[in-house]
Amino acid sequence: MTRIIPQAGEHYTHYKNSEKEYEIVCLAKDKETLQDLIVYRALYPISDLGEEFAKDPVFVRTIEDFMAILPDGKSRFKKVGIEDRR
């Protein structure tokens, strides 16, 4: 089975709220563990994370965590295509 790797510029939604999008910034490696990571940005303000972080919230997850299938069978993040934004 081929592992899907998100690419910079792609947009995803989180299973908890499909109205809020995230953009993949880049792929990275953890310096200590060499795990593959995804750096992604929320495309909406997040006020409960502190003033300096709220304007440009950026997160990091392992690729495995980002692309995980949850116990209920849903994907944690779902890729959003151009046709989904209309």
Question: Around Cβ 70, how many Cβ atoms within 10 Å?
Answer: 9
Would you state the pLDDT for residue 82? 66
pTM: 0.84
pLDDT tens-digit profile, the chain (86 residues) = 566 899 999 999 999 998 899 999 999 999 999 999 999 999 988 878 777 777 889 999 999 999 999 999 999 999 998 655 54
Would you state the pLDDT for residue 86? 45
Is there a contact between 63 and 7 (Cβ–Cβ < 8 Å)?
no
Measured in whole angstroms, how far is the alpha carbon of residue 15 from the centre of its chain?
Answer: 11
